[in-house]
């Protein structure tokens, strides 16, 4: 299965942002600081995962 760099980074950003928002919504409200933190987490994950190259597949010998 070949996953492109784009989809790998987008999925990481969505999962990280959703996890952060899920934690922030524990009390039923979302403050501005929590929203900014979730955005920062999503952008951080996007940038880090985008930068890491995909590993070359091993030759099945």
**Does position 54 have pLDDT exceeding 80, yes or no?**
no
| Dist CA 41 CA 39 (whole Å) | 5
User: pLDDT of 6-25, one tens digit each?
Assistant: 888 999 999 999 999 999 99
pTM metric for this prediction: 0.78
pLDDT (tens digit, 9 = 90+) per residue, 17-51?
999 999 999 999 999 999 999 999 999 999 999 89
Nearest CA-CA partner of 9 in 57, 50, 51: 50
Task: Give DSSP secondary structure letters for 2-34.
Answer: ---HHHHHHHHHHHHHHHHHHHHGGGS---HHH
Q: What CA dihedral angle connects 13, 18, 19 and 22, to 10 degrees?
A: 160
């Amino acid at each position: 299965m070949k996953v492109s760099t784009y989809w790998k980074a987008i999925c990481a950003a969505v999962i990280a942002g959703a996890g952060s928002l899920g934690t922030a919504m524990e009390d039923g409200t979302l403050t501005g600081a929590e929203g900014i933190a979730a955005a920062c987490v999503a952008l951080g994950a996007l940038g880090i995962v985008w930068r890491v190259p995909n590993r070359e597949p091993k030759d099945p010998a």
